[in-house]
Amino acid sequence: MLEPGLPGVQPARGDPRDTPLPSRPFESRSKREPDVKKLSADDLAFLNRFGFDEALFASWREAVRTKRLSVANNRVHDRLLAPHADQIRDLPRRDDEDRTELDRLGEDAIRRGELGIVILNGGMATRFGGVVKGVVEVFGGHSFLELKIRDALDAARKLGGRIPIYLMNSFATDEATRAHLDEHAQFGIPAGDLECFTQFISVRMTPDGDIFEDAEGKVSPHGPGHGDFAPALRASGVLERFRARGGKYLLLANVDNLGARVHPGILGLHIRSRAEVTVEVAPKWPGDVGGSPYLFRGKLQLVEQIRYPADFDPDIVDVFNTNTFHFSADAIDRDFELGWYFVEKKVDGKKAVQVERLVGEMTRFLRSTFVRVKRTGPTSRFFPIKVPEDLKSGRDEIRAMYADLFGEA
């Protein structure tokens, strides 16, 4: 059996997690003895606000030190096979009768208030200058978050329903996100239809398992990956409240994927297929980085790039994961033993290690449908903005994509 902290094991279950805003920075360690490698009481007070698991972190330190948690141990050891041709679906064309039926199923669900949206808004946006990306202007004074929110409000208005929005923030984004929402009067979201919750938190390590210290001698916190989605949603009470109001389906997407909008047809496909999760995959282009669906141990599931075997050819599959999903809410109201994976980063010019879990690995446990989506044109569902140059070069396309909400100006 794997030990805590290694792939396939999750933290202790059922712990209550409070997520207030941070009240102070981490304590500087610059004046401490260099051989002291413990978190201070002040550090722990901050970390515990976001559900820090000290025992789990201690096990990770030991696993990194002994190389039981490493790049090599991320890798799968069984064969990864390409899916069969009929295992990746295509959405029918708009003029197809089948598409009309899928749209109707999705629209009816929205009218009944069964769809909610979870926006992954916790990333530290290191490639975007370390800003809180969700509050950054995209065009015409409209931020990433505003575009997402306006899209949901418009879909709900057209269909006479309500779509609650849930923002999964992190210790790094929560305060700025809440301030942005307050500044804009929540963008007109009806009372009770917007909630923020935070993912959990951990601390970076050195490659030999010590506590990593940044250029100022402080510990370096991080969010442990978008695999926090279901556990944090449950621990915060958000999932329970969503289900209590009649919610059945959750659209999950990154804040910086401006193509991932409310889509009745894909929601309808999810409903009709009786899937527990529907995964959107896009045609793979040269240079794309990310996981894909593979047959692994007899089941089609997402396998991320950090898990590929050495010398593996990922191009045996011509699509990749967009990190956009429709989940059935009842199917994720339980524990999932997601793996924890070793990730190397450069922080202040030094090599650092952090441990993360992956939301796509939920496909290992759930009945899954995979649907191919467009990544070009005004109906693209995959338009990620990862660096400022993406925003600069893609602004005209984004404006065209959202012309239905804001016009061409």
Instruction: Please write the tens of the pLDDT for every residue from 35-69.
Output: 447 899 999 999 999 999 999 999 999 999 999 99
Task: Find the CATH number of the domain harbouring 163.
Answer: 3.90.550.10
In a domain, 17, yes or no: no
Does residue 25 carry a pLDDT above 90?
no
In a domain, 74, yes or no: no
Residue 171: the pLDDT is 97
In a domain, 396, yes or no: yes
Does residue 130 carry a pLDDT above 80?
no
In a domain, 78, yes or no: no
Across the strands, what pairs with 274?
none
Contact 118, 166 (CB under 8 A): yes
Does residue 13 carry a pLDDT above 70?
no
Write out the two tokens for 20: 């207030």
Residues of the domain holding 106: 41-69+86-406
Does residue 81 carry a pLDDT above 50?
yes
In a domain, 182, yes or no: yes
Does residue 256 carry a pLDDT above 90?
yes
Q: How many residues would you count in the chain?
A: 409
Residue 35: the pLDDT is 44
Residue 17: the pLDDT is 32
Instruction: Please write the tens of the pLDDT for every residue from 282-296.
Output: 999 988 888 999 999
Write out the two tokens for 307: 């898990």
Residue position matching structure tokens 């990620």: 384
> Alpha-carbon distance 365 to 86, whole Å?
21
Residue 106: the pLDDT is 98
Structural domain count, the chain: 1
> Alpha-carbon distance 28 to 102, whole Å?
56
Cα 179 to its chain centre, rounded Å, is 22
Does residue 379 carry a pLDDT above 50?
yes
Residue 409: the pLDDT is 45
In a domain, 14, yes or no: no
Q: SS in 3 state form for the chain?
A: CCCCCCCCCCCCCCCCCCCCCCCCCCCCCCCCCCCCCCCCHHHHHHHHCCCCCHHHHHHHHHHHHCCCCCHHHHCCCCCEECCCHHHEEECCCCCCHHHHHHHHHHHHHHHCCCEEEEEECCCCCHHHCCCCHHHCEEECCEEHHHHHHHHHHHHHHHHCCCCCEEEEECCCCHHHHHHHHHHCHHHHCCCCCEEEEECCCEECECCCCCECECCCCCECEECCCHHHHHHHHHHCCHHHHHHHCCCCEEEEEECCECCCCCCHHHHHHHHHHCCCEEEEEEECCCCCCCCEEEEECCEEEEECHHHCCCCCCHHHCCEEEEEEEEEEHHHHCCCCCCCCEEEEEEECCEEEEEEECCHHHHHHCCCEEEEECCCCCCCCCCCECCCHHHHHHHHHHHHHHCHHHHCCC
| pTM of the shown model | 0.90
For the segment 385-406, the average pLDDT, to the nearest whole number, is: 93
In a domain, 7, yes or no: no
In a domain, 23, yes or no: no
